[in-house]
Amino acid sequence: MIDEQFLKQQKQLYLQLKQHDAQQDHRLARYGSMELESVLFLSQLITLQNSQNILEIGTSAGFTTLWVAKMLENSTGHLISVEKQPERSIFA
């Protein structure tokens, strides 16, 4: 179960990222985070499958990364997230 504080923070972050993306003309300037519904579905899959090793390619702003980490919080699972743009890694 996801606690309300985490969910509230993530919804706020999601809206900020979407607002940022809407103001960008060039696609590479956008974060392109997963939709909230997709991240919730992914979170359910991680929990149901008891996933232990997850590789995320494209950290971007870290939105999905936070969700995956939250799902692994009470397990011995590991998350590796890679991002090729250093400035995005710093932001995340």
Q: What is the pLDDT of residues 13-54, one digit of tens each?
A: 999 999 999 999 999 899 999 999 999 999 999 999 999 999
**How many angstroms separate the CA atoms of 30 and 63, rounded?**
13
Which structure tokens are listed for 30?
A: 């956008």
Considering only residues 53 and 91, tell me which one the structure prediction assigns the higher pLDDT: 53
SS3 52: coil
Entry pTM: 0.85
**How many angstroms separate the CA atoms of 45 and 39, rounded?**
10
pLDDT of residue 1: 66
Main-chain phi, psi angles of 56, to 5 degrees = -110, 125
Which class in CATH covers the domain with range 4-91?
alpha beta
- Band (pLDDT 50/70/90 cuts) for residue 63 is very high
Q: Could you tell me which residues come within 8 angstroms of residue 20 by beta carbon, excluding any fewer than 6 positions away? A: 30, 31
SS3 42: helix
Which of these, 44, 31, 45, 36, lies nearest to 9 by C-alpha position?
A: 36
In this prediction, residues 72-78 reach a mean pLDDT of: 91
